[in-house]
């Protein structure tokens, strides 16, 4: 766990490694639809680099997470 990293949806995964925007434990086209809705919005769960806006930089990060489970090691977080 990285306590300095944003975890907007409080699921135990920091935004930087959590492309699972609908919390179904897999990053797929459903999450892409949510990402599109949040594009150019201020902050939130799709602000993967925590710079305050969802933009093309976040899209690049999201692309690397596509078709993978959330989290750095693809294992459930410890609560």
pLDDT digits over 45-54, tens only? 999 999 999 9
What's the whole-model pTM score?
0.83
Computed over its alpha carbons, how large is the radius of gyration of the chain?
Answer: 11
Burial annotation 14-27 (CB, 10 A radius, 16+ → b, else e): bbbbbbbbeeeeeb
Contact 19, 31 (CB under 8 A): yes
Q: What is the mean pLDDT of the chain?
A: 88
Question: Residue 2: CA atoms inside 13 Å, Cβ hemisphere, count?
Answer: 12
Q: Is the confidence at residue 75, as pLDDT, over 50?
A: no
- In angstroms, how far is the first alpha carbon of the chain from the final one? 10
């Amino acid at each position: 766990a990285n306590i300095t990293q944003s975890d907007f949806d409080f699921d135990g995964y920091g935004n930087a490694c959590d492309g699972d925007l609908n919390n179904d434990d897999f990053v797929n086209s459903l999450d892409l639809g949510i990402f599109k809705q949040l594009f150019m919005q201020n902050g939130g769960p799709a602000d993967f680099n925590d710079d305050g806006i969802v933009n093309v930089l976040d899209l690049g990060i999201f692309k690397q997470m596509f078709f993978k489970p959330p989290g750095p090691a693809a294992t459930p977080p410890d609560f």
